[in-house]
Amino acid sequence: MAERKVSVEAEVGLHARPAATFVQTAAKAPFDVSIAKAGGRPVSAKSILSVLALDVRQGEAIVISADGEGAEELLDRLAEIASTV
């Protein structure tokens, strides 16, 4: 299983537009993708409600995990979305 630890830099955290973009990108994957706050319980990165419920704020670290063909490339894209201001 591949994973990335990323610091969320968006001023609003992983809410609203950044969360929607993140979930839409994850949902395109034909395999499971999860997200968690550092040290927390992972949830589906394909569920907008689950991602919003994490209440990720600016400066907090998240861990994104995926397992499948193309997981590394997907994680790179998701990390870029999460770390973009």
Where do the domains of the chain lie, and which CATH numbers do they carry? 2-83 (3.30.1340.10)
CA distance 43 to 12: 20
The pLDDT score that the predictor gives to residue 26 is 98
Which one has a higher pLDDT value, 16 or 3? Answer: 3
Which residue numbers are catalytic? 15
pLDDT at 10: 87
List pLDDT tens digits, range 30-85. Answer: 999 999 998 899 999 999 999 999 999 999 999 999 999 999 999 999 999 999 86
Give the pLDDT score at 33: 98
The pLDDT value given to residue 85: 60
